[in-house]
Structure 1
Amino acid sequence: MGTGSYTSSDWNHLRGKKGLTTDSNFDKVFVNRDTLSLYDSRRVQLRESRDSAESPNSTPIIIGFDATASMGYLAKELAVNSLNNTIMSLYENQIVSDPHILCSAIGDCKSDRSPLQVTQFEADIRIIEQLTDLFLEGGGGGNGGESYNLLWYFAARHTQSDCYEKRQKKGFLFTIGDDQCHKDLSIVEIRNVFNDQTQYSLSNEELLRMVREKYHVFHIHIETGHYDDQQIVSAWKKLLPGYATTIHKHDICYLSFLITAIMAVTNGADVNQTLKQMDQSVAERIARSMALIHVEHQSKCTISF
């Protein structure tokens, strides 16, 4: 629901208690070996981001990451570095008001037992506590895609926020992974993953129209140097023109800077000024990524920080 507030001392305490470091073994960071019912999309009717005394102008933010076999390093990076860095930057730079963050582990609904898990919208250290509660199945079907579109459906049909309902403002939704997105969700897939009854399948274009009523939707493709990287990037650019970008696997430590820069530009900041406010070394690593982002109000410009 989004009560409480995030502090660096809480992060330091959690990091010490769980041993969250870059050297931590993956199995020590994510200890659960099955999906907990409270995060299972089949059992979640609704996730809410509501205003409170601590968060009077809440902003819902959904961060969904590919949890299939090739992407274990991404989940670990989020848990030990990027998620904390993202949260601290949002507060310190006042990029959005009162962030409420929901994390999601995304798999493949054509093959996985638990293709979608979702935490609560939280405003305090529970953001990372719940992230590390997720079961990382490590599946994926080797079938030319993953089910990133499950998160679009969930956000459109199973989330509510005061940000949208009271203020008619959109939240933010990010998916992050290294594969293409399956082209649609079938009636059977929707029933199996959400226990929802629908009359027809939903194409990605229909799903995006639905979710974009309430969220700015972005995808960050992780480049791995694999032979089909460019094919995957081209597919994402076609599906989400101006809202899909890339970051190399070797630059994954800069992920938090990319996420917060995208949010800042979406909220009206100048892209070059946003990059200038960062350390030069950081700005240089994400400049190419930001050059691919062209949100609705933003005129195309040359990156020249």
Structure 2
Amino acid sequence: MGYARWDPADWNSYNTKHVAGKSASEIFTSSKMKDSFDPSKIEFRESRDSDINPNSTPIILASDVTGSMGMIAESMIRKGLNTVATEIYDRKPVTDPHIMAMAVGDAECDRSPLQVTQFEGDIKIAEQLKELYIERGGGGNGGESYMLPHVFAAMKTRTDAFEKRRKKGYLFTIGDEPTLDGVTMKQAKRFLGLDLQTNLSAEDCVNLASRTYEVFHVILSTVGYAKYRLDEVKRTFEPILPQRILYVEDPDKVAESIVSAIQICEGANKADVAASWSGDTSLVVANAVRDLATGGGTGIRRLT
């Protein structure tokens, strides 16, 4: 998918008709997961080149929708998607973005711990984001299933970027809790439709996805679980994603932080990237990207 191109005019029209002046419950009206978003029923998702997008770059945005984290999906549909798409076109860290949205929950507690849209290059991604089921579930088990997106990306996506050019896409998970340690065989079968031969640890999941994606995690450091127990969240992510974690202090600046991480991974200077944003966004981005490795293209960097 992804055979069209982002147009801010389409965004403005869509936003006026479907988003502006509406509450989150009026925007996200699904009461259950759509079959078309069910990973267990998806053979694979494709990001393919086309005449209008000849050098496609797959970008996966996988947001926690448990508890209060549905606010991130709301922020993305109100302005975040447009920021990601237009800023990538303006700043040109990568070419021809194809965006996929994922909704992430808890495989130990939720009915729908992962939902997956198509890869899209135009306003269709906003239309699909609006149809995601914001379950607002989760449980008291000290984490969410942030590793499900990694396994899906590794085993159920096909991209011309990697197959033709050996160019990795980008995968960002977003949330406020620790990650549950990996994906079990039972979870993989039930929620992803995959027959694994062994349980996967969180590190296994990241390493699988890192073969074809530059992998990052966004921690919302001032809200929800992380606001009071940030050290617990860090302990589960820092060993498996060294120098690939963004600590974002303002949930409304997630999109800008993601674009900045892509720029830095593609070789831009961190200070220059932060300074390129106006007002308080510059400070939020500077803090978010402070610990990122500069440059990229080789997957997870482990320090010695």
- Displacement of 1:44 after TM fit? 0.9
The aligned counterpart of 1:69 is: 67
SS at 2:277 equivalent: coil
The aligned counterpart of 2:15 is: 15
- Structure 1: state its 5+ residue gaps: 299-305
SS at 2:190 equivalent: helix
SS at 2:108 equivalent: coil
The aligned counterpart of 1:302 is: none
Task: Give the count of matched residue pairs.
Answer: 294
**1:220-240: CA deviation from partner (whole Å, max 9, x where unpaired):** 011226321222123322221
The aligned counterpart of 1:294 is: 293
**1:198-233: CA deviation from partner (whole Å, max 9, x where unpaired):** 221111111111110100000001122632122212
- Displacement of 1:296 after TM fit? 5.7
The aligned counterpart of 1:31 is: 29
Letter in 2 for 1:13: S
**1:243-263: CA deviation from partner (whole Å, max 9, x where unpaired):** 012112xx1221111010000
The aligned counterpart of 1:3 is: 3
Distance (Å, rounded) in 2 between the aligned partners of 1:60 and 1:25: 30
The aligned counterpart of 1:260 is: 259
Check the 8 A contact 2:267/2:294 in 1, yes or no. no
Check the 8 A contact 2:270/2:286 in 1, yes or no. no
Cα separation, partners in 2 of 1:52 and 1:297, compared to 1, 3 Å: closer
SS at 2:39 equivalent: coil
**1:3-54: CA deviation from partner (whole Å, max 9, x where unpaired):** 1111111011111111x23x53111111111111001111111000000000
Tell whether 2:106 aligns with 1:108. yes
Q: How does 1:205-220 map to 2 (within 5 A)?
A: 205-220=203-218
- Structure 2: state its 5+ residue gaps: 298-304
Letter in 1 for 2:260: A
The aligned counterpart of 2:243 is: 242
Q: How does 1:163-202 map to 2 (within 5 A)?
A: 163-202=161-200
- Displacement of 1:101 after TM fit? 0.4
The aligned counterpart of 1:301 is: none
Q: How does 1:120-159 map to 2 (within 5 A)?
A: 120-159=118-157
Distance (Å, rounded) in 2 between the aligned partners of 1:2 and 1:264: 22
**1:158-205: CA deviation from partner (whole Å, max 9, x where unpaired):** 001000000001000000001011112111111110122122111111
Could you tell me the TM-score, scaled by structure 1's length?
0.93
The aligned counterpart of 2:81 is: 83
Check the 8 A contact 2:269/2:294 in 1, yes or no. no
The aligned counterpart of 1:229 is: 230
**1:139-164: CA deviation from partner (whole Å, max 9, x where unpaired):** 10220110010000000000010000
Check the 8 A contact 1:243/1:295 in 2, yes or no. no
Taking only aligned residues, the RMSD between alpha carbons, in angstroms, comes to 1.4
SS at 2:115 equivalent: strand
- Displacement of 1:241 after TM fit? 0.7
Identify which range, 263-272 or 274-283, moves more after superposition: 274-283
The aligned counterpart of 2:300 is: none
Distance (Å, rounded) in 2 between the aligned partners of 1:184 and 1:125: 33
SS at 2:40 equivalent: coil
Identify which range, 223-232 or 89-98, moves more after superposition: 223-232
Distance (Å, rounded) in 2 between the aligned partners of 1:269 and 1:148: 28
Moved over 3 A (4+): 295-298
Distance (Å, rounded) in 2 between the aligned partners of 1:246 and 1:9: 32
Check the 8 A contact 1:61/1:101 in 2, yes or no. yes
Could you tell me the TM-score, scaled by structure 2's length?
0.93
Distance (Å, rounded) in 2 between the aligned partners of 1:296 and 1:150: 26
